[in-house]
Structure 1
Amino acid sequence: MFAEDKLLVKIAEMYYQENKTQNQIAKELGIHRTTISRLLKQSREEGIVQISIKYDKAGTYNTEKQLERAFNLQKAIVVPVAHDLDRRQKDILLAEALAIYLKNILHDGMTIGFSWGATMSAVASCMPELNLSDIVCVPMIGGPSGRLISDYHVNTITYEAAKKLHGIALLIDSPAIPETKSLKEELLKNVFNQELIRLWDHLDMAVMGVGSPVLKNNQTWQDFYGVDIIESIKGQDVVGDVVSRFYNIHGEHIINELDDRLIGIEADKLRECPYRIGVAESRDKVSALIGALRGNYINILVTTEETARGILDSI
């Protein structure tokens, strides 16, 4: 047994410290390569070799894995950011991290949906420039009820993304929230809107921000929804929304007056999309993100390290 232990130590030393290949070790010791492989495995099992991973050296890797396990995510991208950065700077860092990931998964023939907002504006500006074929970019919701900074409009975002990807953009000329249900029905008869609805049914990827009613005093939210609609969801258990589909902390849809009037992708159709990418950060959005994750609205999360820790500390 002592001789075997000496052999295990010898092989482990040659492999792990001298960086020799299993073939080189086999030749030097006159042992079959398959035996070398078996003995290396045995040395780990018996504790002769102990492998430890220093997660603190891997930045946010461990946090990403915790999120992926907690919510059964396809991917979590956690970005460390300095505390003194402003909102736009943080959005750009998130968008740049997403762009790196997108380079690996975007391919010819994809139909990609986009939502609106400041974060999505950053996503569009940082979209990787790829020479792809047959890419179609579409808005997943109509335009604002009131005034909105043009860069935050879903049509602007969709167009900018399509330009970067050498694809085509289909734009929407209907409001997200028509005044009445009957007006919505009339607008949806439009041939262009019919084409959008057809594409919503077959999205390959959806990229969206996550809203939070905690930010109801945010000017961008007020510009999109109008004060009356923001007031109408008060007193309900709303923690957030994706493409104006409101939900509670458990991710359950909350029935509200917008449901019959909203021009946008249905929640069930959104969940059928293979890549559902949510991009958002801030302590104020922790509950909104937890609800979105639990409700399976998103299966790929891009956020800051601070927000990620807030999510994990709250579940």
Structure 2
Amino acid sequence: MQGEQGDNLVYNDEELRLMIKIAHMYYEEDMTQSQIAKELNINRTAISRTLKKMREEGTVKISINYNLSKTFQIEQELVKRFRLKEAIVVPCEKGQSSQTKLRSLGRGAAQLLNRIIEDNDVVGFSWGSSLAATIDELVTTKEQDVLFVPLIGGPSGKLESKYHVNTIVYNAAQLFNGKSKLIDFPALVEKKKTAEDIKQSIYFQEILKLWDKVTIALVGIGSPALSGSSTWGGFYGEEFCEELESANVAGDICSHFYNLNGEQVPTSISERTISIDLDHLKEMRYSVGIAESPEKVSAIIGALNGRYLNVLVTTEETAELILKKSVQLT
């Protein structure tokens, strides 16, 4: 019989023997509760109650070795600080090349996509090197009823074809044996009237309807701090980069710009841009930002403050800088 002695529960020898036996079978021999119930001729519910009681009383102590995942605590800090659904922080060693970091970033995003994608999802992509790296690292045996769509027009020949949104979307669909919808107009047109004509076209209206149905978005994050790079600065041009600096722009997603607080900033290209609205990203089941580098820290913080993302995939180095700077800003 079970009695009480002060605050400590006291069991007779038979009760203790049975409890220890159940714990050993469950934790050491990896037997299921149903298997234990059958072998000991005890109700499965009683097995479950016994295991729960042993954990509560400290007879069984479960220890998780968080050191096995050196980035776990950083991920949890990001989730808590920015109210994220999830954060994936990939380890990086000091002195790693940018290409090595990019591959690690892509691998983390690819594993996430493999885990969260479901039948009937509509998955949207922006363009750029981090999205291309995600597809490069994507290995799947899944065949799913999924539609892949672009979230922004093409870069008008200003990027390598592997970074083009249509290339990324098509390759993702091939890997999942899904379907894809490509986009045949640029992200940035020369005149406002041209953008208005495109947006009134039947083809664009089809794209617009698909944007309303996107359940998972994977987007890169741009930063004016990278205006000297051949990719970002080359796409927008030197004069426009100066405009962004004077407007205190922190970053962009799909060529929509925002400040450090996440507030959208209108620019001279706003009415000439063909891409999904940032507010759409707030409504999706998963809105995943994939970005790293010290130069992108402010851009990432702005995107998180604006709630345009509910998942962040970044490197350990960048994550630590994000947390440090976000504390300084509070």
What are the residue-to-residue correspondences of 1:1-315 with 2, within 5 Å? 1=4, 4-5=9-10, 14=21, 19=28, 44-45=55-56, 51-144=62-155, 147-315=158-326
Deviates more, 1:260-269 or 1:188-197: 188-197
Deviates more, 1:170-179 or 1:241-250: 170-179
Is the Cα–Cα contact under 8 Å of residues 86 and 311 in structure 2 kept in the other structure? yes
Q: Distance in 2 between matches of 1:166 and 1:241?
A: 31
Is the Cα–Cα contact under 8 Å of residues 141 and 243 in structure 1 kept in the other structure? yes
Q: Distance in 1 between matches of 2:55 and 2:99?
A: 48
Is the Cα–Cα contact under 8 Å of residues 22 and 36 in structure 2 kept in the other structure? no
Deviates more, 1:166-175 or 1:281-290: 166-175
Deviates more, 1:188-197 or 1:40-49: 40-49
- Read off the aligned partner of 2:322 and give its amino acid letter: I
Is the Cα–Cα contact under 8 Å of residues 23 and 51 in structure 2 kept in the other structure? no
The one-character-per-residue Cα deviations of 1:203-222 (angstroms, maximum 9, x if unpaired) are 12111111111111111012
Q: Distance in 2 between matches of 1:181 and 1:83?
A: 46
Q: Distance in 1 between matches of 2:294 and 2:242?
A: 22
SS of 2:225's equivalent? helix
- Read off the aligned partner of 1:243 and give its amino acid letter: C
**Gapped runs of 5+ residues in structure 1?**
none
Q: Distance in 2 between matches of 1:291 and 1:243?
A: 14
SS of 1:234's equivalent? helix
| Alignment coverage as a number of residue pairs | 314
TM-score normalized by the length of structure 1: 0.86
- Read off the aligned partner of 2:266 and give its amino acid letter: I
Q: Shift in Å at residue 308 of structure 1? A: 1.6
Q: Shift in Å at residue 255 of structure 1? A: 2.0
Q: Distance in 2 between matches of 1:121 and 1:36?
A: 50
Is the Cα–Cα contact under 8 Å of residues 110 and 135 in structure 2 kept in the other structure? no
Q: Shift in Å at residue 109 of structure 1? A: 2.3
SS of 1:101's equivalent? helix
Q: Distance in 2 between matches of 1:195 and 1:43?
A: 58
Query: Structure 1's 42 and 108: CA in aligned 2 closer, same or farther, altered over 3 A?
Result: closer
Q: Shift in Å at residue 88 of structure 1? A: 2.2
Deviates more, 1:246-255 or 1:146-155: 146-155
Deviates more, 1:77-86 or 1:8-17: 8-17
- Read off the aligned partner of 2:117 and give its amino acid letter: L
C-alpha RMSD of the superposition: 3.0
Q: Shift in Å at residue 63 of structure 1? A: 2.1
**Gapped runs of 5+ residues in structure 2?**
none
TM-score normalized by the length of structure 2: 0.82
Deviates more, 1:274-283 or 1:169-178: 169-178
Q: Shift in Å at residue 72 of structure 1? A: 2.0
